[in-house]
A and B are shown apart, each in its own frame.
Chain A
């Protein structure tokens, strides 16, 4: 009897050991070397083209409090031994993305059909994008922001593009045979810097020339639109959450976009890379005389100035309200999170139009009426 139990346990132990599939092939795809890769604005990734055998893309945290680093190689020679380094493959057919903001870059370089899993359907507003994703049978891979490993494994992505703060869980994905790559576009401080990540996506998905062409055209439009800074056009941002009011960092894309529209941020002296968290009282006191108020928030579809004034009595005393200078972007009903990162020129045009009181054909921002 004893030996029977012992045998049974041994059998169970042996059968319950699951062997994970590991990529054992050392064969790499070879790509043509692109020499003139110029990264002008983006600070969170760099491209090293100095080595003959490869181009190296590095993703770094820069001056961010949260430290991270990642790299991936584009092989140009089959003789080089890439060992355990991440290398780019020629044909990515299954991609999973952790942020809806990556969608815009992938859409721009015609990679939408490769997206098979996405985290954050709720953050997508327009039905046309959702329709495309549903047609491609893209599945939601997270619940309340947490990645569901089983769903991810079901897709078995060739590459999972993740937030830098997921770096610690990246090893978990690796153990399950999923290759990850950090994408830190949201940490860029300028709209053009964030747009320039299109080159990163172009390099990773072997469509650099298209990405570069898009960037050059958008950069040109953006720089043409850029307005001279006017210190009298004072500005503050957003709405409070409970008793606190988070103002974007001076080093953020949002603030730099507004500055490029000619506005002067009232908290521009605060140089922290983090958002500035103030009390409601402080903002009431400091922003009451600001000429402009930009609100980027999720609100009901027909949210109006009347609805805003219902939130706090003091708002009617705000100079921006009195002068009709409340500029609003409803993140629930615009593509702010999805296509916004690759359309800075459109956003800038919108802001300039709103400042000039002409918001009839704007995409992202409207004057709140």
Chain B
């Protein structure tokens, strides 16, 4: 019965996401009727030539919000298990800052790869930045006892990378600065159709590969020793976790800019919907899909609020306004648990 309830929750979120996605196509400063939207989605033309481009742009940003939100949320969930800290996430641990440094090296510093790799320079540098921060965190985590200390280390790494970015910013010209500022504001709207076409199968593949992480993650929740006793290759699992979270965070950050709070807040929300008395639903078998769905909903809802308000606020402002109270509530809850 309890399992049935959890499946119903999953189904509810799936339907809600679809409805939100359809509604998202209607939200914007130009009013386009549903009949026109349907015509355009079927490949027919409408009276206004701009409508097809507007709907294409809205569809792209809807899909990007879904992919980006789910990717950051699931990365946060995995990192929270990996570092055994409910406040871990790509932003808090400094991984997003690592990607920012990578992007800054290309945009502000003019670093680029050879001609045939020039187009993917941003992704490669971003990924390199994310991996660098994760490796530093892994090394540091061996020498610290309290998990909160790791967050402070992540914060320090963020400051350090920010300082490097500021130095690059100072030496760059106006055009480079403009590009970097626009990117730094964060938006799901900068992604074009050809990139989305590549992203959808790529993200689906990564999400499918998460199936192989369910058992190791279930074991890692109870500690490394327990995982080892269960026959889990902890070393391999850690490597996979680093690769998956780095790839997801860097791809999303490179294309959408650093987006705050989704990675840390959504896993907290998803925990509220998971039945704590049922062992099966406590498993990552359910945690992962719920987090994926809620991440997508959180990001899409933020983007809809943003568009509904006339695009006057940066995306990060909206995600922070929703995410920050959730984190404060989590910290209070953690402290209560400790004091009890």
Contacts and interface: CB of A to CB of B under 8 A. Distances in A.
Contacts of B178: 241, 298
Interface in A281-332: 281-282, 284-285, 288, 298-300, 312-314, 317, 332
B173 A284 contact: no
Nearest to A301: B175
Interface residues of B, number: 25
B223 interface: no
Nearest to A143: B170
A332 B314 CA distance: 27
A120 B26 CA distance: 44
Contacts of A241: 178, 182
A244 interface: yes
A298 B175 contact: yes
A243 interface: yes
B187 A332 contact: no
Nearest to A284: B50
A218 to B, nearest CB: 28
B40 to A, nearest CB: 14
B289 interface: no
B44 interface: no
A300 B54 contact: no
A242 interface: yes
Contacts, number: 62
Given A285-B30, A314-B50, A122 B174 contact: yes
Contact of A281 (B28, B174, B185): B28
A285 B50 contact: yes
B145 to A, nearest CB: 41
Contacts of B185: 242
B229 interface: no
A163 interface: no
A211 to B, nearest CB: 30
A279 B49 contact: no
A123 interface: yes
Given A242-B187, A284-B53, A279 B182 contact: no
Given A313-B192, A332-B173, A279 B28 contact: yes
A282 B49 CA distance: 13
Interface string B164-176: 0000000001110
Nearest to A243: B311
Interface in B147-196: 173-175, 178, 182, 185, 187, 189, 192-193
A36 B313 CA distance: 51
Contacts of B175: 298-300, 332
Interface in B23-72: 28-30, 48-51, 53-54, 56-57
A122 B29 contact: no
Contact of B48 (A277, A280, A285, A312): A285
B29 A288 contact: no
B325 interface: no
A282 B51 CA distance: 11
Given A281-B28, A282-B30, A299-B175, A313 B53 contact: yes
Interface string A240-275: 011110000000000000000000000000000000
Given A280-B311, A285-B50, A285-B51, 9 more contacts: A241-B182, A279-B28, A281-B28, A281-B29, A282-B29, A284-B53, A313-B193, A314-B53, A332-B174
Interface of B: 28-30, 48-51, 53-54, 56-57, 173-175, 178, 182, 185, 187, 189, 192-193, 310-312, 314
Interface of A: 122-123, 241-244, 277-282, 284-285, 288, 298-300, 312-314, 317, 332
24 contacts: A123-B174, A242-B187, A242-B189, A242-B311, A243-B187, A243-B311, A244-B312, A278-B29, A279-B29, A280-B189, A280-B311, A281-B28, A281-B57, A284-B30, A285-B48, A285-B54, A288-B49, A288-B50, A298-B174, A298-B178, A313-B56, A314-B50, A332-B174, A332-B175
